């Protein structure tokens, strides 16, 4: 007598579990599809951002190279003008006169004062 009721109850439980499993499987599949679509969009965004960053980096490197080359050009032009001017004899003639004054100063004896003797009491 209870056997048909038990069979009915087990069928209801099995059906409920089946429906629940189908819903979960469908939800997981939908979320995976949504994740894949989002990943594809994110990958495209990442690629675009990488291209933009590479372009900015290339521009910055190019500007730094141009700036460095301009600085080298200015420095070399200044050195070229400095080396192209004729050498004056006056600075060379002044050098021996300076050497003589150094020799005269070195010939004078250095005067030093004698140090006072230490006091026997130890007080200063």
**pLDDT tens track for 13-50:** 888 888 888 888 887 877 777 777 777 767 777 788 88
Question: Does some domain include residue 118?
Answer: no
pLDDT band at 101 (very low <50, low <70, confident <90, very high): low
**Domain encompassing residue 60:** 18-103
Q: Is residue 12 a part of any domain in this protein?
A: no
Confirm whether 85 is domain-assigned: yes
Is 81 part of any domain?
yes
> How is residue 100 written in tokens?
């003589």
SS3 (DSSP) at 120: coil
In a domain? residue 54: yes
State mean pLDDT over 60-80.
91
Would you say residue 9 lies in a domain? Answer: no
The answer to whether position 26 is within a domain reads yes
Count of domains forming the chain? 1
Residue 100, C-beta contacts closer than 8 angstroms, at least 6 positions apart: none
Domain assignment of residue 122, yes or no: no
How far is 71 from 75, CA to CA, in rounded Å?
A: 6
pLDDT of residue 42: 74
The pTM of the full predicted model, rounded to 2 decimals, is: 0.35
């Amino acid at each position: 007598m209870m056997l048909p009721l038990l069979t009915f109850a087990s069928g209801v439980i099995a059906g409920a579990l089946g429906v629940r499993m189908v819903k979960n499987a469908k939800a997981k599949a939908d979320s995976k599809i949504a994740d894949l679509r989002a990943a594809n969009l994110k990958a495209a965004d990442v690629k675009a951002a990488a291209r933009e960053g590479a372009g900015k980096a290339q521009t910055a490197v190019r500007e730094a190279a141009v700036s460095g080359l301009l600085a080298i050009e200015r420095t070399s032009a200044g050195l070229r003008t400095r080396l192209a001017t004729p050498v004056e004899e006056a600075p060379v003639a002044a050098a021996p006169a300076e050497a003589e004054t150094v020799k005269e100063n070195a010939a004078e004896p250095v005067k030093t004062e004698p140090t006072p003797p230490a006091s026997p009491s130890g007080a200063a």
